[in-house]
Chains A and B, each alone.
Chain A
Amino acid sequence: AQTVTQSQPEMSVQEAETVTLSCTYDTSESDYYLFWYKQPPSRQMILVIRQEAYKQQNATENRFSVNFQKAAKSFSLKISDSQLGDAAMYFCAYNAGNMLTFGGGTRLMVKP
């Protein structure tokens, strides 16, 4: 079974600074997709960024970028120029077929 591990239960960042959230996963598949979802306190989860495993180029969406290391099975999320609205739970997720598997989440706090 695939597992997704987020080793940082909580992270804190100063407004306008950069923060990196870690994620590792375990899989024997070669073709899969990785995602970062954001869950603000209202609980409606939204997609932040996604990465296709066969693409070597790291995905970027405005202030959000990933560092995808396929051999190490690592998929970290970097948030640049952090804003107060970035405060939320962030979940790393993996999909190799039918099922989207989530990690345990990292709570990000942004200090003004």
Chain B
Amino acid sequence: EAGVAQSPRYKIIEKRQSVAFWCNPISGHATLYWYQQILGQGPKLLIQFQNNGVVDDSQLPKDRFSAERLKGVDSTLKIQPAKLEDSAVYLCASGEEHEMFGELFFGEGSRLTVL
């Protein structure tokens, strides 16, 4: 079974530039999550989708971050304009259902460096 796919694996940009990350979850998984993991810290949830609807985006900095999940499958996370503090690994995860005890399956992440 294919896992969660993310691209690009690495991205280096200048501040004020824009960047987009792509995630393809495990086939059939209804829930999809984007986490931000700053070096040395635990992942922090940015946004959660159930199919193509947003369940929770309370921690997404909406002035610069946006995310969509078209057709309830793939998702993109965009940052525009990027700031130095956005340097982090962006993790995508998916799960079978919107359940508290459900296991999340993570991708390898997209590492962003903002200069």
Interface set of A (CB-CB < 8 Å, partner B): 4, 6, 31-33, 42-47, 50, 52, 91, 95-105
Contacts and interface: CB of A to CB of B under 8 A. Distances in A.
A99 B91 CA distance: 15
Interface string B37-52: 0001111110010000
Given A104-B41, A105-B42, A45 B106 contact: yes
A73 B3 CA distance: 33
In which size bucket is the chain B interface?
20 to 34
30 contacts: A4-B42, A31-B100, A32-B100, A33-B100, A43-B91, A43-B109, A44-B106, A44-B108, A44-B109, A45-B43, A45-B91, A45-B93, A52-B101, A91-B42, A91-B43, A97-B100, A98-B48, A98-B55, A98-B56, A98-B98, A99-B45, A99-B56, A100-B33, A100-B45, A100-B104, A103-B42, A104-B40, A104-B42, A105-B40, A105-B41
B14 interface: no
Given A97-B100, A100-B45, A102-B43, 12 more contacts: A4-B42, A43-B89, A43-B91, A45-B91, A47-B103, A96-B100, A98-B56, A99-B56, A100-B33, A102-B42, A104-B41, A105-B40
B25 interface: no
Contacts of B101: 33, 50, 52, 95
A111 B56 CA distance: 41
Contacts of A44: 3, 106-109
Interface in B11-51: 33, 40-45, 48
A25 B56 CA distance: 21
Contacts of B108: 42-44
A72 B55 CA distance: 31
Contacts of A97: 100
Contacts of A104: 40-42
Given A43-B89, A43-B109, A45-B91, A95 B103 contact: no
A99 B100 CA distance: 8
